[in-house]
Amino acid sequence: MLAARRRPAADSGPADTDGRLEADARAVHEALSALVRVYQFRDRDRICCHDISVTQCYALEALVRRGPSALNDLARELYLDKSTASRVVSALERKGHVRRAPHPGDGRAVVLTVTPSGRRLHDRIRVGLIGEARLLLADFEPEVREGAARLILRLARAAAARSGVSLGAGCCTPEGCG
């Protein structure tokens, strides 16, 4: 009698002998889908009242976190192609939140920096969003609150690894953004 062939554990994870993994995968998919939908609408409603789009807010946040950055690096972090990232940055620049300067090492490139106005806007939006998260977490036990961010980050890292990109440094294709 032939033994059943199993894929190596590194590829498939724990064996799913009772179908539980499938049920758990469905439950996680549904939970994450619901969370993403709520956050997308929440972000749109809370961020757009500051006269920037959600994508512009993500760009501003990335530049605050990263510091001065090249456009290509920002595009990769936002999972955007270079032309879309350039339009996002142009809108932020017109509003006075971002400044472009020549790249010191590459005459064809620019360095993007956040202006004081952009920093104030970022901080104002962030305070509001963190305040909402604080209200959301208030009814949970401390150990649940402490584990929530770690679990969500682990899920994000695992999903990024499975898709062939790293968190904050990829695009919709394994080749990256063009």
Model confidence pLDDT, tens digit, residues 73-83: 999 889 899 99
With contact defined as beta carbons under 8 Å apart, do 59 and 74 qualify?
Answer: yes
DSSP 8-state assignment for residue 109: -
pTM for this prediction: 0.72
With contact defined as beta carbons under 8 Å apart, do 177 and 80 qualify?
Answer: yes
pLDDT per residue as tens digits for the range 102-154: 988 888 888 999 999 999 999 999 998 899 889 989 999 999 998 998 998 99
**Which domains are assigned to the chain?**
49-151 (1.10.10.10)
pLDDT for 14 equals 61
